[in-house]
Every structure is written in C-alpha cells, then in structure tokens.
Structure 1
Amino acid sequence: MNEINNNHSMFSLYYHLVLVVKYRRKVIDDTISDYVKDMVVRLGENYNISLVEWNHDIDHVHILFKAHPNTEMSKFINAYKSASSRLIKKH
C-alpha cells in the first residue's frame, strides 16, 4: 500500500463513501457523474483528500478516497454534499 510519512508516523487511510439520491430517483448519467467527480477533486484539494476510485449507477455514487489523519471528514462531506446538491439543481 501507499503509506504517507509524517515526522513521527506513517499512515494509509482510505474511505469508501456511498451517496444515494433522495428517494432513489434515477437521475445520475455520465455528464452528472463527471461533473460531481470533478467537484470531489476540486474540493478535496482544500481538505488534503485525493480521489482513488469513482463509480456510479443511475441512483447512487461510490467514492473511494485517501485522506490524512488530521482531515476533518465531517466538514468535507458536509461541504461536498451541500455544494454538489446546490450546483446540480442550479444546472
């Protein structure tokens, strides 16, 4: 695995996040998936998060990403969900 070194530690933290569309509506196509994936990459730079793998179906998204131990996961997920929902509805 790819461990990351700090001054006094080594770590390798991977997270698997599944996001489901409200009421399991079938709204995710390739263009929406690419748009939301790009948003994960852009927002992840602010939180020391890098995208490892991305998969989607018509009603949910699987995200595998790597993070640092000092990353505030709740703030990242909250910011991502609110930004993606708002911008997708806008378009």
Structure 2
Amino acid sequence: MSHDLDKNQHSVYRLTYHLVLVIKYRRQVITPEIFNRLIEIFNNNASNFDIVLEESNFESDHVHLLFKAKPQTQLLKFVNAYKSASSRLIKKEYPEIRKKLWKEAFWKIGYFISTTSGANLKTVTKYIQNQKRL
C-alpha cells in the first residue's frame, strides 16, 4: 500500500477507505475464483469513479476492500454501482450460486466503510487540541 499523498489543483490529500461487503444471510458462496471475478468487476467500476484498489481479501461470506479515492468521489454511488454490477454478473456467470442464495439477493443491503487515511483518531484529536490559539 502506498502512503504517498495525492494532489490536485487545489489540495493535497490521502483518502483511503476500508469497505466490507457481506453476502446476504452470510451464505458461504465466495470461492477464490469468484473472489477474483469480484475484484475484476471492482476494478472495472472503480475506474469510472477515480478509485484505486490498494488491497483486498475475502472469506466465504464477505470481502474486504481497501481503496484510494479522490475528494470528489461519490462513495455511495460507487458502492451501489459496484454491488449492483457484481451481483448481476456473478449470478449470471455462476448460476450454481443461485441455489445457495435466498431469492435474488447476493449482497446484504448495508455495508461497512471506514476511513483509514493516516493517523488514528486519537493522534489527530491530540494534535488539534495542542495547536496554539490566537
């Protein structure tokens, strides 16, 4: 993972996120082959949102994705587009999965996302508290 700062015309930033997506009802359907396809779909969608995948891993019922984004990235739109595309394509390309799912749902409706950019919250809070006041 790169710790370099990103830049645009008006700012310097490092925006990294940890995203966890869980299979509906925690069905154990993710295999290494399916995970590789999920990552391929992620990267195809990510390019439309200026997102770069930094790291990924999985268990049979969920995936972990660490990615970089830009300040203008619309995270909600990206996550929804990725979940929709991956659900549709995985069910189409791996029809045997449908037998393990409840109805048509592939992913749980919700997800977990957290910022991971740089120092931890305690360090940033202390830094701000120790700044001089005028």
Relative to the length of structure 2, the TM-score reads 0.66
Please tell me the residue identity of whatever aligns with 1:26. Answer: Q
Counterparts of 1:66-81 in structure 2 under 5 Å? 66-81=68-83
Other-structure match for 2:64: 62
Aligned length: 91
What runs of 5+ residues in structure 1 fail to find an aligned partner? Answer: none
Computed over aligned residues only, the root mean square deviation of the Cα atoms, in angstroms, reads: 0.7
Please tell me the residue identity of whatever aligns with 1:37. Answer: I
**Greater Rg, structure 1 or structure 2?**
2
1:21 paired to 2:12: no
Structure 1 SS opposite 2:60: coil
How far residue 2 of structure 1 moved from its aligned partner, in angstroms, is 1.2
How far residue 8 of structure 1 moved from its aligned partner, in angstroms, is 2.2
Relative to the length of structure 1, the TM-score reads 0.97
How far residue 6 of structure 1 moved from its aligned partner, in angstroms, is 1.4
> Structure 1 vs Structure 2: percent identity of aligned residues?
52
What runs of 5+ residues in structure 2 fail to find an aligned partner? Answer: 94-134
